[in-house]
Amino acid sequence: MTKKIALITGANKGIGFETARLLGEAGMTVLVGARSAALGERAAAALAGDGIDARFVHIDVTDHGTVDAAAAWIEKEHGRLDILVNNAAIAAADASGPGAYTLPSDTSAASVRAAFETNVIGVVAVTAAMLPLLRRSPAGRIVNVSSELGSLERLSDPSSPAHRVNLLPYNASKSALNAVTLAYAKELADGPIKVNAATPGHCATDLNGHTGPRPAAVGAAVIAGAATLGADGPTGVFITDAGPEPW
């Protein structure tokens, strides 16, 4: 059987790196997307050192030239793509420091724009560039890494832990990402490509100053599971570690 080819954006660290590791350990060729060549090369080398078939691919999701160049390189090297994990994201808080928290009324339009540029427009740019390659796969999978903080059901439920995290740029961008996910899923529903959003849960990563209680590898298992759904798996759903849940 031919090896599956998986591209993970923002895979130089955190949940993306651990997702690349899990997919690599499952026998796939993993394309380690990173905006920094130095960090991406280092991450791919670390995975390769553990026996994983990993290659660095330069992708800054906000620089669409790098996105198109990455798609051209993947086509030349591999001819197709089986799995796309849109993982790269920023928190875009106005206050300084990772995990910084800014009230909506103190939030600048610029920080909202930055969050959308990476977390939403970046996903659209990468998906558009990679779709022709995914269409060549017998079982293409797209996973958009979302968050409980993008879930309108949770954000509006006072009993949800997400309710008190009132982070306008990030939350709104992940809600938009959920809508983006559904848009692609509906268009592609009649073919083999499944498009889902998945949340890793609250993990300890640089994104939140390592405040999350879960190791990144545990969150990555949810993402890798969504990336390896069988033909009978769902499309157009929001996947948590408890399975598909309401948006």
136-175 residues in contact with ligand NAP (CB under 6 A) are 145, 147
Q: How far is the CB of 40 from ligand NAP (least distance, A)?
A: 8
Q: Which of 7, 44, 47, 61 binds ligand NAP (CB under 6 A)?
A: 61
C-beta of 46 vs 139, nearer to ligand NAP: 46
How far apart (Å, rounded) are the C-alpha atoms in residues 239 and 235?
Answer: 10
Q: How far is the CB of 204 from ligand NAP (least distance, A)?
A: 7
Task: Indicate the burial class of 23 (C-beta count within 10 angstroms; 0-12, 13-18, 19 or more).
Answer: buried
For ligand NAP, the nearest residue by Cβ is 14
Q: How far is the CB of 125 from ligand NAP (least distance, A)?
A: 10
Smallest CA-to-CA distance from 204 within 98, 120, 102, 119 is with 98
Smallest CA-to-CA distance from 226 within 147, 143, 134 is with 143
5-34 residues in contact with ligand NAP (CB under 6 A) are 9-10, 12-16
109-138 residues in contact with ligand NAP (CB under 6 A) are 118, 122
C-beta of 5 vs 120, nearer to ligand NAP: 120
Q: Element (H or E) spanning 127, and its range?
A: helix 122-134
C-beta of 43 vs 133, nearer to ligand NAP: 43
Q: Kindly determine how many residues on this chain lie close enough to bind ligand NAP according to the rule CB under 6 A.
A: 32
Smallest CA-to-CA distance from 85 within 191, 6, 183 is with 6
Task: Indicate the burial class of 25 (C-beta count within 10 angstroms; 0-12, 13-18, 19 or more).
Answer: middle
C-beta of 118 vs 235, nearer to ligand NAP: 118
Smallest CA-to-CA distance from 127 within 83, 192, 78, 75 is with 83
Active site positions, annotated? 170, 174
Q: How far is the CB of 173 from ligand NAP (least distance, A)?
A: 9
How far apart (Å, rounded) are the C-alpha atoms in residues 194 and 52?
Answer: 25
175-234 residues in contact with ligand NAP (CB under 6 A) are 199-200, 202-203, 205-208, 212, 216
Task: Return the range that interacts with ligand NAP (CB under 6 A); candidates 45-53, 54-62, 155-163, 178-186.
Answer: 54-62
Q: How far is the CB of 58 from ligand NAP (least distance, A)?
A: 9
Main-chain dihedrals φ then ψ at residue 138, nearest 5 degrees:
-70, -20
DSSP string for residues in 146-215: --GGG-HHHHT-TTSGGGG---HHHHHHHHHHHHHHHHHHHHTTTSS-EEEEE---SB-SGGGTT--SB-
Residues in the site for ligand NAP, rule: CB under 6 A? Answer: 9-10, 12-16, 35-36, 39, 59-62, 87-90, 118, 122, 145, 147, 199-200, 202-203, 205-208, 212, 216
